[in-house]
Chains A and B, each alone.
Chain A
């Protein structure tokens, strides 16, 4: 959609133009008119997505200092760095909708915006790092690949970049588990235990069943979402079962079996009580994750204040600054380093 509607056009017409653009699979861009509810839905979803990247650094960072080889340590550090980068893209995408990163972070810290429930589970062994890569990133990719075609342009473009890196992480997670699975009996047991603990929470990442998903119908009509929760969940299970087999690991579901008729795997019932408890803040790590995030933010306040004071002082510099101050500006955008 390329035209910015003049103010004289009534809302009905604007809505008709918007609906037609969405129906024609055109991208909505920041300066286009959009319904308030569409804007609010996107802010909620993109913010939650950004918050998930930031909080999601914690369970993995928990193992950086204990990674068992330098190669694995480098991979894990690069991954956690990517996640911070994804958070940055996503906050930028949210900012095109007229909110600020600060405002969104404040809401996260106040518990008024959510992040993915999966990150409220603890990483108890090294194998959890692999299970997160394989299952959690795998579920995230299944959810996010369709978002690359989402109707809101900035979000769709952020997803293209995010998905490329995520699929790399997912392969690394799989490879980590494979090394453990083929390693010593202790390592194999460690891998199996991690998969046992992360399987069901990963399935919960697709959200409530279709019948109980309050935002789904509208999001699908707006082409923010392309597939239903249950559809994506089923697609994920279909992908994971053969992968688990080639890993030499089992999935903790006695009801899991191939269904000739549907051409999909049938799987057991998800414990939605647990899901709701975690969403309500009663998961194993909810308190710890948020407390850490608040603590980092509060302890960093003096650093952000210093940067702001420095920037203000130097931006406000009058034309006749003494020579040494202009050199400082010279160094600020200084280039040799990145060459």
Chain B
């Protein structure tokens, strides 16, 4: 839901018309996935609009502001590759999420394809796009460690294996894009699993303020 919101912020601002369609399309897919999951947990709107920042459990990566197009693509590449691997594994299992994951994985494959193609074009495009893509990948790298922290309820997932598969896939894409895997730390003391504990980055509160204000201004109203 959080990543969907960030992608939707691009509406009317994308570099080409085709990307207006693509980014909104991905945002819509992600919102659909979020609504399914939130509805399993309770009332989707109550969970989306009435929780405070500290009660949100999303990873910090997805709440990062859009930045330039390269930044958005790097965030999408990291997250879609992760989500694709995780959902593929969940779809194979027999847990409660298996049918949902099987549906979502088809959408996520498209998101990953989109992010990988843009990574190639930006990495192997012009000197400027290469530089921007490299800075974006480096800047977001510190938020990727959290993706592989064990999550309650998903005990069947082999997190170290997921991390290895993810690193290989990202490494392969970056090599084709004439880029390199960032070398900095993937987590800091404050990022290891922090989002999952409701510890977020500063821009997130402002995002929620915007997202929730209308709903909160009319308590109990239906829309």
Contact surface of A with B, Cβ cutoff 8 Å: 54, 57-58, 61, 64-74, 77-78, 80-81, 84-85, 87-88, 91, 101, 126, 176, 179-180, 183-184, 186-187, 292, 295-297, 299-307, 309-311, 313, 324, 327-328, 331-332, 334, 336-339
Q: Is the CB of A184 within 8 A of B218?
A: yes
Residue B94 is within 8 A (CB to CB) of chain A in the complex: no
Whether A84 and B20, one on each chain, are in contact in the complex, defined by CB atoms closer than 8 angstroms, is yes
Partner of B15, one of A87, A299, A328: A299
Range, interface on chain B: 35 or more
C-alpha gap A80/B9 in the complex (Å): 12
CB <8 Å contact, B221 and A187: yes
Nearest 9 pairs of A and B residues by beta carbon: A300-B15, A306-B125, A306-B129, A337-B113, A84-B20, A61-B11, A303-B15, A81-B24, A310-B121
B176 at the interface (CB under 8 A from A): yes
Q: How far, in whole Å, are A338 and B31 apart by their CA atoms in the complex? A: 19
The listed residue (A73, A87, A332, A334) touching B31 by CB distance below 8 A is A73
| A74 to B8 alpha-carbon distance, docked (Å) | 10
Which residues of A have CB within 8 Å of B132? 302
Binding-face segment, B142-150, B184-192, B197-205, B207-215: B207-215
Question: What is the interface of chain B mostly: helix, strand, loop, or mixed?
Answer: helix
List of B residues within 8 angstroms of A297 by Cβ: 15
Which of B13, B21, B32, B68 has a CB less than 8 Å from the CB of A88? B21
Q: How far is the CA of A309 from the CA of B25 in the complex (A)?
A: 26
Whether A296 lies near B14 (C-beta < 8 A) is: yes
Among B31, B69, B125, B222, the residue within 8 A (CB) of A300 is B69
Is the CB–CB distance between A309 and B125 below 8 Å? yes
Whether B5 sits at the interface, judged by CB under 8 Å, is yes
Given that A54-B17, A310-B120 are known contacts, is A292 also in contact with B222, CB under 8 Å in the complex? no
Residues from chain B with a CB closer than 8 A to the CB of A69 are 45, 49, 215, 222-223
